[in-house]
Amino acid sequence: MSRPLVVFDMDGTLVDARASYGEAVLRTVRHFTGREVSWESVVTYKLQGGWNNDWDLCQRMAEDLGVPVSYASIVEAFDRILLGEEALLSREVWIPDPGFLERLAETHGVAIFTGRSRREAEITLGRSAPTVAFRAVVCAEDVATPKPAPEGLHRVRELAPGRDLLYVGDAVDDARSARAAGVPFVGVSLGDSPLSAEAARALEREGAAVVLPNINLLEALLEDR
């Protein structure tokens, strides 16, 4: 049996995005509501599924706090915080150990299916993984229906024909996307993250073959695959 092409989500999987996207959610909600919300509350929403898009999540959290906000206003404020004057994207932390993805690219092949825009994905990949030869990088603009729909994984299949896939991600929507595409799923629940145990159980309920506390443990798991 041929080794599967390993497809990675980005945030919470390859990148600890709590100081970038996570903080942008908190600051965007605070900007519109004047209320402080916790990272735990963000995780609680995401564990429900359906909140992979942070703009959608910010709008919903603001509404639940009694402050309706237009989607365009959410997008403008979030992007200004993440990419503009506050530049939170520069604060995220790359998780893979040096050489990890390069070795996996040689033994299995690697790809990405992320809910990030291509611009945001390329900023991070250019900074942290410039030498990794990804077989495909599928971003938000490449699909009409985002996670938990399987379209992004179908797109990876089109770009890497004939390959079996394995999807690796941290979110309920990642697991549901994999299941809808008929792709095996490995979960990641960062061990030092709030509600990590609850997140791991949620991924297991959604069909994860295994849930890892750190992406670097994947290499040993795949040695015989």
- Which pLDDT tens digit goes with each residue over 77-131? 999 999 987 889 999 999 999 999 999 999 999 999 999 999 999 999 999 999 9
Sequence-distant (≥ 6) Cβ neighbours of residue 33 within 8 angstroms: 62, 65, 66, 67
Q: Are 85 and 91 in contact (CB under 8 A)?
A: no
Question: What CA–CA distance (Å, rounded) separates 117 from 102?
Answer: 23
What CATH number is given for 5-16+93-221 in this structure? 3.40.50.1000
Question: What CA–CA distance (Å, rounded) separates 137 from 119?
Answer: 12
CA atoms within 13 A on the CB side of 210: 10
Q: What local confidence, expressed as pLDDT, does residue 2 receive?
A: 78
Sequence-distant (≥ 6) Cβ neighbours of residue 52 within 8 angstroms: 46, 115, 146, 147, 148, 171, 173, 174
pTM over 0.85: yes
Q: What local confidence, expressed as pLDDT, does residue 87 receive?
A: 86
